[in-house]
Amino acid sequence: MRRSRRLLATAPLAACLAFTGCAEELGPEVIPRTTAEGVVLISGRPVDRGWVELQPIDGTLGDITSARLRPDGSFRFDRAPVGEVAIRLVDVPLGSTGAYWIFRNNSPIRRSTQTPPGPPITIEIVEELMRYQEMRGGSR
């Protein structure tokens, strides 16, 4: 009986020592974040509704984050991942089902975010569509 009481009394100390040795290895990893802002345009006119999503790619750490488009086409991320990101446009009135699927599902839009924050991101839909067609080898 005494032996089991001693084991119960020392168990918390043993657990504390075991976990203390691993604290550095198991500690939370700090994911760098930055502020990113910009504007979405179609033929020079602001896109007045929808969402912009940033998805980390190519080794960039972080989670997908989204920001609502304002009536003037602008958006702002206060906690954007730092590095290469794919930009998706969600519920944006693009006027074309094909353009909607390109920018929503597997968006070809790529940008880099940095800290301290860099210049505003400009996304001109018509230019992005032309770039996408060139990348795919022109119209088929």
pLDDT at 56: 96
CATH number at residue 100: 2.60.40.10
pLDDT above 80 (res 8): no
**Average pLDDT of the segment spanning 55-64:** 93
Mean pLDDT within 68-72: 98
Question: Is residue 45 a part of any domain in this protein?
Answer: yes
Residue of 99, 84, 118 whose CA lies nearest to 50: 99
Number of domains in the chain: 1
First-to-last alpha carbon distance for the chain, in angstroms, is: 83
- Asked if residue 58 belongs to a domain, the reply is yes
Mean pLDDT of the chain: 84
CA-wise closest residue to 95 among 35, 50, 140, 29: 50
Residue 5 carries which side chain, given as an amino acid letter? R
Say what the pTM is: 0.74
Q: Provide the pLDDT for residue 2.
A: 58
Residues 6 or more apart from 31 whose CB is under 8 A from it? 61, 62, 81
**What is the predicted pLDDT for the residue at 104?**
78
Calpha distance 47→69 (Å, rounded): 7
The CA distance from 115 to 80, in Å, is 10
Asked if pLDDT for residue 14 goes beyond 60, the answer is: no
- Specify if 83 maps to a domain: yes
Is 140 part of any domain? Answer: no
Q: Which domain holds residue 39?
A: 33-135
Say if 72 falls within a structural domain.
Answer: yes
Tens digits of residue pLDDT in 30-54: 899 999 999 999 999 999 999 999 9
Whether residue 38 contacts residue 74, with contact meaning beta carbons closer than 8 Å, is answered with: yes
Q: Is residue 84 part of a domain?
A: yes
Query: Is 93 contained in some domain?
Result: yes
Among the listed residues 44, 50, 90, the one whose alpha carbon sits nearest the alpha carbon of residue 70 = 50
pLDDT band at 10 (very low <50, low <70, confident <90, very high): low
Instruction: Look at residue 15 and tell me if it is in a domain.
Output: no
At 109, give phi and psi (nearest 5°).
-75, 125
| Helices (H), ranges, 1-56 | 2-21, 23-26
pLDDT band at 20 (very low <50, low <70, confident <90, very high): low
pLDDT digit string, tens, across residues 94-116: 877 777 778 877 789 999 999 99
